[in-house]
């Protein structure tokens, strides 16, 4: 094991020592650390999007700390240790890359993807021996962000034949769901409206999947674009010595149209 890795493991063990460690570290559990693991993961993403390599290195260290922290807690409870975590992921990578570590040959990305999904399905089947856990949708983490969970669910179903062969019927389904949202709105039934909005979002994710677009990233970029355009509106309103609430929607829409032109990305 690398010297630096062993040093990190030793530091974590010391921090968790009941008598000589840090009181905060000692009282942490798998569950109490969940918010920190999520936060650190998002901070890695933020560093990547800002192209800040120094920050990326630091944030990856924070994620590694979470792995070491959880592994230390597990070792204290006789469950597993860091070396077993590393060994497990190494075995998985070798198993899922037979074209690199064995003699398998894949001619296309689609063949590689199908082999990857097949390997994952076999792993799930081996892990879930109970009949109720044999669904092809088993194993999708319930705590995933909704868009990501939706995409994974639809993709898993598609891998087993439940999918349209072309994008045209997906477009038709989007229009159908929009109309059903309108009908729900006209009914005044809030629960029904929520249900139909959910169906619309699901089919929008399916449309993104057919175009090989990551819906999480697409929505994030759309939100960032909205923010920049809205900031432009705020600047123009402030320059006119007014407040947003003093403006008519038509005036704000005009600034929005200006923003779409001035802030448009170059081709």
Neighbours of 266 (CB within 10 A): 3
Domain boundaries, position 181? 144-213
pLDDT tens-digit map of 40-84: 999 999 999 899 999 999 999 999 999 999 999 999 999 999 999
- Are residues 72 and 49 part of one domain? yes
**Do 81 and 75 meet the contact criterion of CB atoms below 8 Å apart?**
yes
- Are residues 200 and 220 part of one domain? no
Is residue 139 left, alpha or beta, with left meaning phi > 0 and alpha meaning psi from -120 to 50?
Answer: left
pLDDT tens-digit map of 146-175: 998 999 999 989 988 899 999 999 999 999
- What 3-state DSSP class applies to 194? helix
Tell whether the model's pLDDT for residue 23 goes beyond 90. yes
- Are residues 195 and 124 part of one domain? no
- Are residues 195 and 220 part of one domain? no
C-alpha–C-alpha distance, residues 136 and 183, integer Å? 33
- Are residues 227 and 178 part of one domain? no
pLDDT tens-digit map of 226-256: 999 999 999 999 999 999 999 999 999 999 9
Residue 137 domain-assigned (yes or no)? no
pLDDT at position 20 is 94
Q: Which letter does DSSP use for residue 265 in this model?
A: P
pLDDT band at 266 (very low <50, low <70, confident <90, very high): low
Closest CA to 154 of 204, 111, 112: 204
Domain total of the chain: 4
- Are residues 224 and 209 part of one domain? no
- Are residues 12 and 88 part of one domain? yes
Residue 125 domain-assigned (yes or no)? yes
- Are residues 158 and 229 part of one domain? no
- Are residues 65 and 148 part of one domain? no
Residue 69 domain-assigned (yes or no)? yes
Residue 245 domain-assigned (yes or no)? yes
The half-sphere exposure of 265 on its side-chain side, counting CA atoms within 13 A, is 6
Q: Which letter does DSSP use for residue 133 in this model?
A: G
Residue 47 domain-assigned (yes or no)? yes
C-alpha–C-alpha distance, residues 45 and 56, integer Å? 8
Q: What is the CATH number of the domain that holds 25?
A: 1.10.287.1080
Residue 138 domain-assigned (yes or no)? no
- Are residues 76 and 7 part of one domain? yes
pLDDT band at 118 (very low <50, low <70, confident <90, very high): confident
- Are residues 239 and 190 part of one domain? no
- Are residues 251 and 238 part of one domain? yes
pLDDT band at 133 (very low <50, low <70, confident <90, very high): low
For residues 136, 138, 143 and 145, what is the CA-based torsion angle, rounded to 10 degrees? 0
Residue 136 domain-assigned (yes or no)? no
């Amino acid at each position: 094991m690398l010297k630096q890795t062993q040093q990190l493991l030793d530091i974590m063990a010391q921090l968790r020592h009941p008598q000589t460690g840090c009181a905060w570290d000692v009282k942490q559990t798998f569950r109490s650390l969940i918010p920190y693991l999520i936060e650190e993961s998002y901070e890695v993403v933020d560093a990547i999007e800002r192209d800040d390599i120094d920050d990326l290195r630091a944030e990856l260290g924070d994620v590694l700390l979470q792995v070491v922290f959880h592994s230390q807690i597990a070792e204290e409870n006789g469950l597993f240790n860091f070396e077993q975590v590393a060994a497990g992921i190494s075995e998985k990578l070798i198993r899922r890359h037979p074209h690199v570590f064995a003699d398998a040959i894949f001619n296309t990305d689609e063949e590689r993807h199908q082999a990857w999904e097949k390997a994952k399905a076999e792993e799930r089947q081996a892990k879930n021996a109970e009949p109720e856990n044999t669904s092809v949708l088993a194993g999708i983490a319930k705590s995933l962000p909704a868009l990501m969970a939706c995409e994974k669910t639809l993709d898993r179903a598609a891998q087993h034949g439940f999918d349209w062969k072309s994008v045209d019927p997906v477009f038709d389904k989007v229009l159908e769901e929009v109309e059903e949202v309108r009908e729900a709105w006209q009914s005044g039934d809030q629960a029904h409206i929520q249900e139909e909005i959910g169906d619309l979002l699901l089919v929008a994710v399916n449309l993104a999947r057919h175009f090989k677009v990551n819906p999480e990233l697409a929505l994030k970029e759309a939100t960032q674009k909205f923010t920049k355009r809205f900031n432009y509106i705020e600047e123009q309103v402030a320059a006119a010595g007014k407040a947003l609430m003093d403006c008519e929607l038509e005036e704000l829409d005009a600034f929005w149209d200006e923003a779409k032109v001035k802030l448009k990305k170059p081709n």
